[in-house]
Amino acid sequence: MTALAVSARRRRTRSLPATPRYVAGRLAQAVLALFGVTTIVFFALRLSGDPARLLVPEGATAADIQRVRDQLGLSDSLWHQYVSFLGNAVHGDLGYSYVQNRPATALIAERLPYTANLAVAALILSVVFGVTIGVITALKRGKWQERVLMPIVLIGQAMPAFWTGLLLVLVFSVALRWLPSTGYDGPASLVLPAITLASLSAAAIARVTRGAVLEQLSQDYVRTAKAKGASTTRLVLRHLARNSTIPVLTVAALELANLLGGAVVTEVIFAWPGIGQLTIQSVSARDFPVVQAIVLFASAVYIVVNLLTDLLYGVIDRRVTAGGRGGAA
C-alpha cells in the first residue's frame, strides 16, 4: 500500500459527507457558466458583423440586405432576439442555420462522430507516446536519452499544425502514396490528422508524466523498493504507473475536451468534416445559431470534463472541498 493510496483513502472517507452539496454547488455553477458564455457570445457575435451581407449576391442593395435581416429576425431589438433565443434554447431549439437552413443541433450531430474519432485517435497516440517519452526521460534524467527525446517532443510542439500536417501529407500521401491525403476513406484516413494533433499534445503529456515520475522517484517507497533490488521495469509497472496516473489522466481529459471542441487548423488542412471546420465556417459566415450551438456544446463538454476531474481531486484531496469555499479551479 503506497503513501498516496493511504492518504487518498483517508481523505475520501472524511470528505464524503460534503460531496453531494459540493457537487450540487458545482453543477449550479456549471449551469451559470454555460448561461454566461452563451450570453457573452450572443452579444459579441452581433457586434462583429452582419450575416445578411454575406448571404446576398454581389450587386445587392441596402433594401435587399434589410429583407434578409427581416427574414432572419435580425431586425428585432437585441433584447427581443436574446429573450426569444433563451426561450427556444430552454426547449432544446437552438435555431436554424442561416446558411444551410437546417437545425444547428443537427449540423453538430452530423459532425460530432468525425471529431470524436479524430480526438480519440489523437489522444491515444499522444498518451502512448507522451507517457513513454515522459517515463523514459524521467528514468534517464540527465542521460543521452533525455537529451535526444525532449527536443523531438518539442519539435512537435514548436511546429504549427498547418506545417506539420502538410509535411506529413507531402511525405506519406504525395511521395510515398501510403496514406490518403484528405477526407475520410476509412481508418487509414485517421492516421495523418491524428499524428498532427498528437504531436501538439504529446509534449504536454510527456512533460507531466516526467514530472510525476520524478516526483515518485524521490519518494521513500521507491527507494525502499530499489534497495530491495526491484528491477526498473517492475518498478515502473507496479508502482510508478499507478501513482502517476492521476496527473496524466488530468491532462489527457483536458486535451480530450479541447480536441472535442474541434481542431480548426488540422481539420481544414485534412478536409476533415468535423466540428472544427463547422466552427470556422459558421464564424466566418456569422451563422449565429450554429456558432451559439457550437459554443454551448464545447462549453458543456469542457465544463463536464473539468467537473469530473475536479471531483476526482475531491476524492483524493479533501482540501478542495474544505478549503476553497467557492470551489477549486
Partner 1 sequence: MKRLVVPSAVLVLYVLAAVFAPLIAPYDPDKVTLAQRLLPPGAHHWLGTDALGRDVLSRVIYGTQVSLLVAIGAVVVGGVVGVALGVIAGWRGGWLGAVIMRLVDIVLSVPFFLLAILVVAVLGPSLVNVVVCLALVRWPRYARVAHSATLQARGRGFVRAATATGAPGWWIVLRHVLPEVLPVSIVVATLELGLMVIYEASLSFLGLGVQPPTASWGSILSDGQQYIASAWWLATFPGIALFVLVLAVNLLGDAARDRLDPAKRADVARPRLLRRMARQTA
Partner 2 sequence: MNRRRFRAALLLAAALALGAASCGIEPASAGRGSDTITIDTANYPSTLDPGKQYDTDTYSVYRNIFDQLLRRDPKTNAIKGWLATSWHQTDPLTWRFTMRKGVTFSDGSPLTAEDASYSISRILDKKFGSQQYANFSVIDKATADGGDLVVHTSVPSPTLLSYLTTLSVVPKAYVERVGNKQFAVKPIGSGPYVLQSATAGSEVVLTANPKWWGPAPQIRTAVFRAVPNVASRVADLQSRKVDLATTLTPDAADQIRRDPTLQILSTPTERVAYLAYNTIKGGPTNDPRVRKAIAEAIDYNAIIQNLERGYAKPINSMATPLAFGYDKSLPGDRHDPADAKRLLQQANAVGATLVMATSPSFDPQVVQAIQGDLAAVGLRVEIQNSDQATYLKKVQDPSHDWGSIRFGRWSCSCQDSDGVIYPLFHTGEIWSSYSNPDFDKIVEQARETIDPAKRISLYRQAFELLGKDRPGIGLFQAYAVYGANSRLIWTPDASESLFLDQMKVS
Residue numbers 269-328 binding partner 2 by CB under 8 A: 269-271, 273-274, 277-278, 281, 284-286
Q: With binding defined as CB under 8 A, does residue 104 bind partner 2?
A: no
Q: With binding defined as CB under 8 A, does residue 33 bind partner 1?
A: yes
Closer by beta carbon to partner 2, 207 or else 286:
286
In the complex, least distance from residue 229 CB atom to partner 1, rounded to whole angstroms = 25
Cβ atoms of 242 and 165 within 8 Å: the answer is no
Backbone angles phi, psi at 103, to 5 degrees: -60, 135
Q: With binding defined as CB under 8 A, does residue 81 bind partner 2?
A: no
Query: Which listed range, 17-25, 80-88, 121-129, 318-326, lies at the site for partner 2 (CB under 8 A)?
Result: 121-129
Whole-angstrom distance, CA of residue 185 vs CA of residue 183: 7
In the complex, least distance from residue 308 CB atom to partner 2, rounded to whole angstroms = 11
Contacts of 165-174 with CB under 8 Å at 24 or more apart are 165/192, 165/193, 165/196, 165/265, 165/266, 165/269, 165/270, 166/269, 168/192, 168/195, 168/196, 169/269, 169/270
**Which partner from the list partner 2, partner 1, none does 294 bind, CB cut-off 5 to 8 Å by kind?**
partner 1
Q: With binding defined as CB under 8 A, does residue 192 bind partner 2?
A: no
Per-residue x/- marks for partner 1, 306-325, CB under 8 A?
A: x------x--xx-x---xxx
> What is the DSSP secondary-structure string of 87-128?
HHHHTT---B-TTT-SBHHHHHHHHHHHHHHHHHHHHHHHHH
Whole-angstrom distance, CA of residue 53 vs CA of residue 68: 9
Q: With binding defined as CB under 8 A, does residue 287 bind partner 1?
A: no
Query: Which listed range, 65-73, 117-125, 189-197, 246-254, lies at the site for partner 1 (CB under 8 A)?
Result: 246-254
Cβ atoms of 251 and 126 within 8 Å: the answer is no
Closer by beta carbon to partner 2, 157 or else 182:
182
> What is the DSSP secondary-structure string of 25-86?
HHHHHHHHHHHHHHHHHHHHHHHS--HHHHHS-TT--HHHHHHHHHHHT-SS-HHHHHHHHH
Query: Which listed range, 24-32, 62-70, 111-119, 233-241, lies at the site for partner 1 (CB under 8 A)?
Result: 24-32
**Which partner from the list partner 1, partner 2, none does 254 bind, CB cut-off 5 to 8 Å by kind?**
partner 1
Closer by beta carbon to partner 1, 125 or else 283:
283
The footprint of partner 1 on residues 102-141 (CB under 8 A) is: none
Collapse the DSSP code of 182 into the 3-class scheme (helix H, G, I; strand E, B; otherwise coil) and give the result. coil
Per-residue x/- marks for partner 2, 199-238, CB under 8 A?
A: ----------------------------------------
Whole-angstrom distance, CA of residue 38 vs CA of residue 291: 10
